[in-house]
Amino acid sequence: MMQEILDQLIGAWNTREIDRLMTFYAADFEGHDIGLAQIYLGISGFRQMVNQYYSAFPDLSFTLTQTIVQDDCAAITWISSGTHRGRIMNIPATGRPFKVNGISTLTIREGLVVRSSVLWDVAGLLRNLGLLPDL
């Protein structure tokens, strides 16, 4: 059941249907994202975060690479890719493609995500955008 929810969730992210995506998150959702400066609370907070990403990367997509499930928690590793077409993290659009790795931990209750913590390769994104030299 958990794997089915996760597959549908990633599918919703990849189709960029925001209203459908919102149906996977609880009203009391709490989201932490290492790349963004604030905690996102509730559906309106989550919608704000999603809009930031879709505005910056209109072709954003995710590929799951590993899933670990324990009780109502899941850890998923993923690769995201897209093209930088809008401002994010105070960086104006570069038009450059990117591909970065990340991991999300999710708490899911009654089929809805109530908490997420996302850690992703911000330095890798900056290198892809030509803003950080290869190390």
Residue 96: predicted pLDDT: 98
Residue 2, pLDDT above cutoff 80: yes
Query: What pLDDT score does 73 carry?
Result: 97
> For residue 50, what are the β-bridge partners?
none
Q: For residue 11, is pLDDT > 80? A: yes
What pLDDT is stored for residue 100 in this prediction? 97
Mean pLDDT of the chain: 95
* 68 close to 74: Cβ distance less than 8 angstroms: yes
CATH of the domain spanning 2-128, picked from 3.90.1010.10, 3.10.450.50, 3.30.70.100, 2.60.40.10: 3.10.450.50
Is residue 37 scored above 90 in pLDDT? no
pLDDT at 134: 81
Predicted confidence at residue 35, as pLDDT, reads 83
Give 21-33 pLDDT, tens digit per residue. Answer: 999 999 999 999 9
Residue 78 confidence (pLDDT) above 80: yes
pLDDT in tens, 94-112: 999 999 999 999 999 999 9
Report whether pLDDT(135) > 80: no
- Give the model's pLDDT for residue 38: 84
- For the chain, domain boundaries: 2-128
